[in-house]
Amino acid sequence: MIPQPYITLTDVLSNHMKSVLSSLYTAIPGVIEDYDSTRPSATIKLSIRRVFSDGSSLPSVPIYKVPVCFPRSQDAAISWPLRSGDSVLVLFSQRSLDDWVNGSGEKAPLDPRTFDMNDAIALPGLFPFSQGKACDSSNFCIQFKDQKISITPSGEIDLGVGLLPNVSLATENFVTAVCSALGVNPIPPIFLTQIVKAQ
């Protein structure tokens, strides 16, 4: 008779903890498959497969209607276009988001699940190093495609990289510029017309 390996209580508890932790979702990279800018929400597929105890793995299944988190408050927001193939960081809520996403306010969740795949939140901006873009180490920058706005530590503001496309300013009120000098160097030349409304 082959002797059976001796299993301690510590082994049992350790195996149980490993099993529990392997079923929890915390944070992982994902990729957008479809995006709805009106909500905003996305269909997301996780970029790293789940590995089982026997070493096998399965392709990730899409997660639907994932809230996309842009920086915003009740009165202000910063957003940018997202499309299929964009990488995101996917976080998983400690408790069910079913009621919260519908604006139900503070209340006990109806579903007792925790750290579940169905309670994902997407944060745009996480990309692998192979798809990364160099960041400006000195200035505050906002970039969209080939155009960039930079603000230096001294307060200088630079618009664009090379020649800008049309820049439009639409307002029914006055535009005021307070400066010691104003220079215009148009390429090609343009005409500046001042329109003064009758008081």
Average pLDDT over residues 9-36: 85
Q: Which of 27-36, 108-117, 172-181 has the lowest mean pLDDT?
A: 172-181
Question: What pLDDT, on the 0 to 100 scale, is given for residue 196?
Answer: 47
Cα gap 138→150, rounded to integer Å: 10
CA distances from 87 to 35, 111, 149 (A): 12, 29, 23
Q: Which residue has the tokens 């664009």?
A: 160
Q: Give CA 26 to chain center in angstroms.
A: 16
- Residue 13, pLDDT > 60, answer yes
28 DSSP assignment? E
Overall residue count recorded for the chain in this entry: 199
Cα gap 120→40, rounded to integer Å: 13
Most distant CA atoms of the chain, gap in Å: 108
Cα gap 192→177, rounded to integer Å: 15
- Name the token pair of 87: 């990488």
Please state the pTM of the whole predicted model.
Answer: 0.77
Q: Which residue has the higher pLDDT, 140 or 199?
A: 140
- Name the token pair of 184: 């215009």
Pairing of strands 87-92, 63-67: unpaired
- Residue 124, pLDDT > 70, answer yes
Question: What pLDDT, on the 0 to 100 scale, is given for residue 195?
Answer: 46
Cα gap 85→103, rounded to integer Å: 29
State which amino acid sits at residue 88: V
- Residue 164, pLDDT > 90, answer no
Q: Is residue 79 within 8 Å of residue 69, measured between CB atoms?
A: no
CATH architecture of 9-133: Beta Barrel (2.40)
Question: What pLDDT, on the 0 to 100 scale, is given for residue 197?
Answer: 46
pLDDT band, residue 18 (cuts 50/70/90): confident
Question: What pLDDT, on the 0 to 100 scale, is given for residue 186?
Answer: 63
pLDDT band, residue 198 (cuts 50/70/90): very low
Q: Which of 23-27, 35-39, 67-71, 77-81 has the lowest mean pLDDT?
A: 23-27
Question: What pLDDT, on the 0 to 100 scale, is given for residue 199?
Answer: 42
Q: Is residue 31 within 8 Å of residue 45, measured between CB atoms?
A: yes
Q: Is residue 77 within 8 Å of residue 71, measured between CB atoms?
A: yes
Residues 6+ apart with CB under 8 A from 4: none
Q: What are phi and psi of 57, to 5 degrees?
A: -145, 160
